Structure 1
Amino acid sequence: MKGLLFGLLCAAAGLYAAPLYQKKKDAPAAGIITGADQTDQYISYLKGKRVAVLANPTTIIGNKHLVDSLLKRGVNIVKVFGPEHGFRGNASNGARVGDEKDPVTGINIISLYGAKRKPTAADLADVDLMIYDVQDVGCRFYTNINTLRDLMEACADNDKELMILDRPNPNGYLVDGPILDMRLKSGIGQFPVPIAHGMTIAEFAQMINGEGWTYNKKKCRLRIIPVANYNHDMEYTLPVKPSPNLNTQQSILLYPATCLFEGTILNHGRGTQYPFTVFGSPLLKGKYTFSFTPVSIPGMSETPLYMNKVCYGLDLRNYNVQKLRDTRRINLDWMIELYNAYPDKERFFDRSQSNQIGSIDGLAGVYDFKKQIMAGMSADAIRASWEEGLTAYRKTRSRYLLYP
């Protein structure tokens, strides 16, 4: 009953996905129940409606895809919208995805990461209710929040209600990083929030509405099914990898810091089975003993930086991530260390050799970060430059939180 009342108040976010881990000890924290898993809170509301779902492989009830499960429960799903990586998650990072028919269900899939970024009026003409259920990882440069905003705009323009089945943020404890300078607005930064925003997807949706972040500031009608028994400090291991290159819990927890290496000349694990946890370059030979060799991996990284070349650098696969939780800070020491070790410092932030999206300015969200690293500033001094913006953001964020 408590969950139902909470949900009502919030209303006034074939090929099943491979689990991250098989071991029992890696199951989600005891007691946490995702919005999708609380079917008693929303199934009856869906009956008799023409439903569309924005989904990817993280969209699950138990260990089955939500779309497949809802169809078996008699819900009339008329179409599915797919974000980056596609509905079933078989597209590479940044790859354009086309419309298709799902081979498992026969339902039409409309891509929102190809020719268009949001549903058209025609797409929504035969839809009564839209569902958003995609796992997020709590970072500004992770594109799910962009897709959420685009979907909210489409629903608002066409007077459609959006039901969000909320999920925990695995980095929900963390609010850190510079606030995006909106002059650097891009596909990897759309909102004036820090790198780690510390919100679930439903909370972020409320912020989009409240702060007027849709293009015409029109509010979307939201119906939220919140996570039960959850707060932001809880550890949560994702049962399904959120995208092809975030394929371990370690990579997800390091991601707020290590995605910044996409803006450098280093390989950050693309072309290996452990992206965002190893970093290196052929030019670091002799300075580090750890090495790895990036190769082409379909569905993950077809043409990684330094493909088939031995790279030397840092291995963070066994780094104790509890240290991140203890400090509640993005670790900048790795960036500072590797910059200092790199022999050609003028090219450290040069992305001309890579086909990856995003400069260091766009990823950090400010022009100063690169200059601060190059000037030899300490992590504490760099972080001090963020504090004024973070203090204001935390006050804004507090207005939209659903969980302690």
Structure 2
Amino acid sequence: MNLDFKIKNLLLICLIFLGVFNQYYAQSDHHTEFKTGADQPELYLPLLKGKTIGVVTNQTGLMKDRSHVVDFLVKNGIKIQSIFAPEHGFRGDADAGEKVKNGVDVKTGIPIVSLYANNKKPNPEQLKGIDIVVFDIQDVGVRFYTYISTLSYLMEAGAENRVEVLVLDRPNPHDGYTDGPVLKKKWSSFVGLHEVPVVYGLTIGEYGNMVNGEKWLKNGVQAKYTVIPMKNYHKKQRYPISDKPSPNLPNDQSINLYPSLCFFEGTQVSVGRGTDLPFQIYGSPWTTGLPYQFTPKPNFGAKDPFLNGKLCYGENLSTYKTNLRELNLEWVINAYKNYKNPQTDFFLKNLWFDTLSGTDELRKQIIAGKSVSEIKASWKPGLEMFEKTRKKYVMYEN
């Protein structure tokens, strides 16, 4: 009986301890809960009440409960005059570079204005009557991914038309490190407006702050610009993203490999558009020495893929284990060395490779047979200079 009583007492003490521990754990867990800018409406709804707004967003503008930020704003009585859609459209189903059409969102009846093709910057007519434009897009933190250019043009238009820009910040899957050649001014384009490296290590909210602070907008204008920061975000942690940022970046692996593989878009080599593994494989009909085989065919993300219907030989990186914290140049160099086609050069004649690189040096270095370490050493001075600028705009700790 006495032993029974002791065991009961011991059990009771264990249960009390477990309860206290659980309560503490729940509190500490709550304390470190991560939230995007969109998931903190208490910070931005007061700024939007009674205002007429525009929203730049796409399929990634989701909240924790998977509802779209546009639907959430409408539900909370915020007056949205227009939805501005970037590359790939509002619902995110247009191919890369495909013309995104203006239209009306079926769900809300709000007019959609394309910010792609010939209208990359909202014009005064499109901004007329708007007080604030809310920007909420999942970016991937790479210079040639066009959403930072869309933000920059929006800020420029905002500054010129006295319209405020409010960014709901989201994670950058390539945050916490910088790499690649720094863009040279003469190579400036929609896939690289500013003198920054390929991987620049800032969230989209921080990037906008840098563009504003460094007066990189046309004529040095500055936008009225506010960032709703994320809560408990750390630059070196990898966060799951709300939805695929574009049709050909379907998963974390494609995003992981994207900064390194996108250079192939300036060559005669496919990166797997028109297959089930876009940005996870590469190959061409003229690299027959490589082991993996695939044939690009039209699909949801690529209506007319590069090398459509041609058997390609390359490499499958879909099971590549490394979480990349730097550019891997070995794949491009490997393909270059294996490329045998007397008819056409490895690099496209339109020099798209240089446009993506932001310089013609990388192409020349590959042709000259420079090693990866030699090429990377040549990037160092530019990266060190950029780091001084970048440091001023970092809002989150590593």
Q: TM-score, normalised by structure 1?
A: 0.87
Local SS of the residue matching 1:61: coil
Please give the residue correspondences for 1:225-264 in structure 2 after superposition, counting only pairs within 5 Å: 225-264=228-267
Please give the residue correspondences for 1:170-209 in structure 2 after superposition, counting only pairs within 5 Å: 170-209=173-212
Q: How far, CA to CA, are the matches of 1:289 and 1:378 in structure 2?
A: 23
Contact 2:336 2:346 (C-alpha < 8 Å) held by counterparts: no
Contact 2:103 2:112 (C-alpha < 8 Å) held by counterparts: yes
Q: Which amino acid aligns with 1:217?
A: G
Q: Give the drift of 1:403.
A: 0.9
* CA deviations over 1:345-368 (Å, ceiling 9, x no partner): 88453326xxxx971111111111
Aligned to 1:111: 114
Please give the residue correspondences for 1:150-161 in structure 2 after superposition, counting only pairs within 5 Å: 150-161=153-164
Q: Which amino acid aligns with 1:125?
A: K
C-alpha spacing 1:345/1:151, structure 2 compared with 1 (3 Å): farther
Q: How far, CA to CA, are the matches of 1:302 and 1:386 in structure 2?
A: 36
Aligned to 1:72: 75
Aligned to 1:371: 364
Contact 1:248 1:274 (C-alpha < 8 Å) held by counterparts: no
Note the residue ranges of structure 1 that are not aligned, 5 or more in a row: 1-29
Aligned to 1:50: 52
Note the residue ranges of structure 2 that are not aligned, 5 or more in a row: 1-31
Local SS of the residue matching 1:392: helix
Local SS of the residue matching 1:60: coil
Given the alignment, which residue of 32, 39, 61 partners 1:37? 39
Q: Give the drift of 1:110.
A: 0.8
Q: How far, CA to CA, are the matches of 2:190 and 2:160 in structure 1?
A: 22
C-alpha spacing 1:346/1:226, structure 2 compared with 1 (3 Å): farther
* CA deviations over 1:88-129 (Å, ceiling 9, x no partner): 112111011121011111100111113311222222221111
Q: Give the drift of 1:191.
A: 0.6
Aligned to 2:346: 349
Q: How far, CA to CA, are the matches of 2:165 and 2:84 in structure 1?
A: 13
* CA deviations over 1:169-219 (Å, ceiling 9, x no partner): 001023000100111112212110000011111111111111111112111
Q: Give the drift of 1:344.
A: 3.3
Local SS of the residue matching 1:283: coil
Q: Which amino acid aligns with 1:339?
A: Y
Q: Which amino acid aligns with 2:306?
A: L
Q: Give the drift of 1:284.
A: 2.5
Larger-Rg structure: 2
Q: CA RMSD in A?
A: 1.6
Deviation above 4 Å: which 4+ runs of structure 1?
none
Q: How far, CA to CA, are the matches of 2:260 and 2:368 in structure 1?
A: 19
Aligned to 1:337: 334
Please give the residue correspondences for 1:127-146 in structure 2 after superposition, counting only pairs within 5 Å: 127-146=130-149
Q: How far, CA to CA, are the matches of 1:358 and 1:49 in structure 2?
A: 46
Residue 94 of structure 2 corresponds to residue 101 of structure 1: no
C-alpha spacing 1:123/1:256, structure 2 compared with 1 (3 Å): same
Contact 2:152 2:208 (C-alpha < 8 Å) held by counterparts: yes
Aligned to 1:311: 312
Q: TM-score, normalised by structure 2?
A: 0.88
Contact 1:259 1:276 (C-alpha < 8 Å) held by counterparts: yes
Q: How far, CA to CA, are the matches of 1:344 and 1:232 in structure 2?
A: 43
Aligned to 1:296: 298
**% identity of equivalent residues:** 43
Q: Which amino acid aligns with 1:314?
A: E
Q: How far, CA to CA, are the matches of 1:318 and 1:59 in structure 2?
A: 29
Q: Which amino acid aligns with 2:279?
A: F
Q: Give the drift of 1:235.
A: 1.0
Contact 1:98 1:115 (C-alpha < 8 Å) held by counterparts: no
Local SS of the residue matching 1:44: helix
Aligned to 2:16: none
Q: Which has the higher contact order (CA 8 A, sep 6+)?
A: 1
Local SS of the residue matching 1:194: coil
